[in-house]
Structure 1
Amino acid sequence: MPIFLKRLVVMVRAHIDQASWQLLLTATLVHMAVTWGLLWLADESALLPLNTFFYYYVVTTSTVGYGDFSATTEWGRMVVAIVQIPFGLALFGVLLGKAGQFVTFWVRRSMTGEKDFAHLQNHIVIFGWHDVRTKKMVDYILGDDKREDRKIVLAVTDAIEHPLLSYPEVAFARLASFTDDEQLSRINITQADKVIIDGDDDNQTFTTALKLSKVVKPQAHISAHFLDDTKAMLLREHCQNVECSASMSAEILVRAMQDPGSSRIQEELLSTLKGDTQFSLVLPDDVKQLTFGDIFNYFKQHHNATLLGVAHDVNGLKMDLNPPLNYPITAGDIVHYIAPHRILAAEVNWTELCSPNSSC
């Protein structure tokens, strides 16, 4: 490109950058008013009604020119040729350039993770990016066809661009730190409902979990993944609202050796993409008392679901697997089950489920 053209492009871009939306809109309105006034003086009565003039102005100034409305007097044609089209076309070009620049700016911010998500409520935040594992997490979250419609925010510290652009449900935020209050405010972590921490290493996961456990709202749930069992055990002692999971590779390998097919069962239980999956359900407040047998039989008959056990806290630290049928269950307890689909509390007929001797 010749030097003078490059300089012209740079000059035009500089003028577009410096021109504010308010200035451009004001200039456009002034140009429209001046054009209308001159057409009125030129006695172009057919173009003067406001709805007609607006349509005529946009079509003619943008040089689309359908021809259904045009100036008919000699002075009217002079106004169009000297005032309306030259100045209007320049304004139109600057407005288009400004709009394109605005769209490019926001797309770029989405790509680089610079956008602000402080407006989000009850969203899911995933801390950390791993090429294969994180994408699987998102697939499993979205694979739950009865999940609440929550926005997912992927937060990273790596210098990467949005790795999940093909997922419209996933927003991307690149933070300088997972423990800085100002950075965390960009993703409104205090209003997040679910949090997954899968850092670059156990140290990052540990420090992030320690920070977030004191920041999130009381009913929020945090899941943290570790490779080292000792770090998971230490975090459980200090942060009761963090559910820690550690690598189970040794246990799975031994179980697969002793009971062939065990590893496939683990995969099926955890994947929402195919086959029956393990879910959980919190008993609503209006259920006073049931037995494990009440729910076991009802779930199998009405929902083709098999109960696994009962937990008395959200992290499953107080859990009884395969308890006896007369095991008491009350409101707030969490039943874990295997089913083709998630069962919502509203889908359960709690009145029919109650046993004759229960007080629910």
Structure 2
Amino acid sequence: MPHVPTAPPGAPSAGTVTLPVQVRSPWWELGRRLLLALVILLFTIALVYFDRDGYIDSNDPEHNYTVDMVDSIYYTTVTLSTTGYGDIAPVTSQARLVNAFVITPLRIAFLVLLIGTTLEVLASQGREMFRVARWRNKMTEHVVVVGYGTKGRRAVDTLVNNGLSREEIVIVDPSALALQEAQADGVAMVTGDATRREVLRRAGVERATQVIITTDRDDSNVLATLTVRQLNPTAWIVAAVREQENVALMRQSGADSVITSSDAVGRLLGISSLSPTLGSVMEDLLTYGEGLEVAERDLLVPEVGKQPQSLPDQVIAVVRDERVYRYFDPVVSQLARGDRLIVIRPARERPWAPRPGTHGEALSIEQD
């Protein structure tokens, strides 16, 4: 089994679902509110003590009914808690005004803090459990991303930039750092090892349409792919491997598409060394939002029967009957209804849509 980093103290346990809303711990909230209550208590004690000449203790004739520090603490606690025995009372106008306009609002704030804290501690965990249960019921036909390192984050960015909602993406990763990144990016996350069925079930893999597997270890990716394929035989699985020799193994494990990260980087480095201009163009194609991009779109009705080279977009491949043909292949010398085009187009245009100006025209697949 692959090594799973040990989570630091306080990190979520394996299989924990974390929705993309920063919810503070109820115990942190409890401590904060108790601290505020203590501040109110100490401030009121100081206020009464410094104005002690304005109060009288009717039960202490031995000290001329005066109020000391102990009396100030006693008066403050019974006043803020609304007990009010009445043995100590303000007698001067100044002390009474302070009680009316300062201590009374402090008493209300003190009670609100205590009552609100109790309700928050009792309700927050139940409310979060309800949110998670409702999220699970709604999560269908979503995308699961295993591993939220650099590759995983870039994959999520690409999906979002091409129209997928962040609410339709679920991250699976065991690390606390990934949890922080997912919360900052507004993406739901399941904390745990993706090679375990229970963790993947919590991410709703059985109902996912696509799964992207991109951890830092090839053995982890293979085991995760096998587990995903067992749980969901129909999901489209895209997996990353570091070494080219593991591509065949990854495909045998059930991956539909395998990306070799080290091989791709090495090719780009070699191309950039031989031809810096060609390297810059390749980098441009791989960079989202600038210059040129590779995109896939549907064929339009007016384009049926035409040659791929005659279209406004630079067609590099045609997808027909789930097979990919190069644009110069005789099989696709004439475009047919239902074809999909792989094109190079300006990045400012929406990748998965027809070229601007043709939005009103029907897609060829609609005529079947």
Please give the TM-score of this superposition, normalised by the length of structure 2: 0.56
The match for 1:185 among 178, 201, 212 is 201
* Alignment partner of 2:279 out of 249, 263, 276: 263
Q: Which residue of structure 1 aligns with residue 317 of structure 2?
A: 309
Q: Is 2:353 the partner of 1:344?
A: yes
Q: Distance in 2 between matches of 1:292 and 1:236?
A: 36
Q: Distance in 1 between matches of 2:291 and 2:335?
A: 28
Contact 2:239–2:250 (8 Å) recurs in 1: no
Task: Map 1:143-158 onto structure 2 (within 5 A).
Answer: 143-144=161-162, 146-147=163-164, 150-158=167-175
Aligned: 1:297 with 2:310: yes
- SS at 1:211's partner residue? helix
Aligned-pair identity (%): 17
Distance 1:121 1:136 in 2: 23
- Between the aligned partners of 1:164 and 1:90, the Cα distance in structure 2 is 37
Please tell me whether the aligned partners of residues 124 and 195 of structure 1 are also in contact (alpha carbons under 8 angstroms).
Answer: yes
**Corresponding residue for residue 165 of structure 1:** 183
Could you list the runs of 5+ residues in structure 2 that have no partner in the other structure? Answer: 1-26, 31-81, 83-107
1:274, 1:151 → 2: CA distance? 25
Deviations 1:100-124 (A, max 9, x none): 4368658999xxxx95652312222
**What does 1:1-360 correspond to in 2, within 5 Å?**
93=113, 95-101=115-121, 105=125, 117-119=135-137, 120-130=139-149, 132-144=150-162, 146-147=163-164, 150-160=167-177, 161-168=179-186, 170-175=187-192, 177-216=193-232, 218=234, 220-237=235-252, 239=254, 242-247=256-261, 248-281=264-297, 290-291=304-305, 293=307, 296-298=309-311, 300=312, 305-312=313-320, 318-324=323-329, 327-330=333-336, 333-339=339-345, 340=347, 341=349, 342-344=351-353, 347=359, 349-350=361-362
Q: Residue 89 and residue 149 in structure 1: after superposition, are their counterparts in 2 closer, same or farther (change >3 A)?
A: closer
One-letter amino acid of the counterpart of residue 344, structure 1: A
Against the structure 1 CA distance between its residues 217 and 106, is the aligned structure 2 distance closer, same or farther, given a 3 Å change threshold?
Answer: farther
> Match of 1:33?
none
SS in 2 for 1:214: helix
Q: CA deviation at 1:228?
A: 1.3
Question: Secondary structure of 2:183's match?
Answer: coil
Secondary structure, counterpart of 1:281 in structure 2: strand
* Counterpart code for 1:222: I
- 1:52-106 CA distance string (max 9 Å, x none): xxxxxxxxxxx9xxxxxxxxxxxxxxxxxxxxxxxx9998555511444368658
How many residue pairs get aligned? The number is 254
Q: CA deviation at 1:308?
A: 1.3
Residue 324 of structure 1 deviates from its aligned partner by 4.8
Please give the alpha-carbon distance, in whole angstroms, between the structure 1 residues aligned to 2:229 and 2:126: 32
In 1: Cα distance, 2:241 partner to 2:306 partner: 33
For the residues of structure 1 that align with 2:340 and 2:315, how far apart are their CA atoms?
Answer: 11
SS in 2 for 1:153: strand
Partner SS for 1:230: helix
> Structure 2 vs 1, CA of residues 107 and 273 (structure 1 numbering), >3 Å: closer, same or farther?
farther
Structure 1 residue identity aligned to 2:283 = E
Larger radius of gyration between Structure 1 and Structure 2:
2
The structure showing larger relative contact order (alpha-carbon pairs under 8 Å, at least 6 residues apart) is 2
The code of the aligned residue for 1:349 comes to E
Task: Determine the C-alpha separation between the residues in 1 that align with 2:228 and 2:273.
Answer: 39
Amino acid of the structure 2 residue aligned with 1:243 = S
What code does the residue aligned with 1:158 have?
Answer: S
Q: Per the alignment, do residues 89 and 143 of structure 1 end up closer, same or farther by CA in structure 2, a change over 3 Å counting?
A: closer
